[in-house]
């Protein structure tokens, strides 16, 4: 996972509280993604970014927001966490379309009680 760091790696929180997950890259890649991984569903795209301040929704974006004020940081925010958002969250980066190889972070495990 060289070049991409997620924080925190583990978090337990209560329903209704805000949560922010951070993804930091040192590769200067243009594209950044947030996926969630749940048993039986594989990885599902939440939001992605194709440049500073340029973001768009993925297939499961409800309840999540993102921000990208710098190339190296992509933040995922749960404004009011719910138990259905208990999951493992993965950040990924890529140089863009074409072969578009994604490099993944180690994941952030979030538990909402």
Interface with other proteins (CB under 8 A): 1, 31, 33, 35, 40-45, 48, 50, 56, 58, 90, 92, 94, 96-97, 99-107
Q: Which residues contact 42 (CB under 8 A, 6 or more apart)?
A: none
**Minimal distance, residue 86 CB to other proteins, in Å:** 17
Q: Which residue's CB is nearer to other proteins, number 19 or number 107? A: 107
Q: Which residue's CB is nearer to other proteins, number 13 or number 57? A: 57
CA distance to 6, 18, 60, 82, per residue, from 1 (Å): 10, 27, 25, 29
- Asked if residues 8 and 88 have their Cβ atoms less than 8 Å apart, the reply is no
CA distance to 13, 34, 77, 78, 82, per residue, from 86 (Å): 10, 15, 13, 11, 7
Q: Which residue's CB is nearer to other proteins, number 54 or number 79? A: 54
**Minimal distance, residue 43 CB to other proteins, in Å:** 4
Q: Which residues contact 57 (CB under 8 A, 6 or more apart)?
A: 47
**Minimal distance, residue 69 CB to other proteins, in Å:** 20
**Minimal distance, residue 54 CB to other proteins, in Å:** 10
Which tokens in the block code for residue 66?
Answer: 């993102």
Q: Which residue's CB is nearer to other proteins, number 35 or number 81? A: 35
């Amino acid at each position: 996972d060289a070049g991409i760091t997620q924080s925190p790696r583990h978090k337990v929180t209560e329903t209704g509280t805000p949560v922010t997950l951070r993804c930091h890259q040192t590769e200067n890649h243009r594209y950044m993604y947030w996926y969630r991984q749940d048993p039986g569903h594989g990885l599902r795209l939440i939001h992605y970014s194709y440049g500073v301040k340029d973001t768009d929704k993925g297939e499961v974006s409800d309840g999540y927001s993102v921000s990208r004020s710098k190339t190296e940081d992509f933040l995922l925010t749960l404004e009011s966490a719910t138990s259905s958002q208990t999951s493992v969250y993965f950040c990924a980066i890529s140089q863009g379309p074409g072969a578009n190889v994604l490099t993944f972070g180690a994941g952030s495990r979030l538990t909402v009680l």
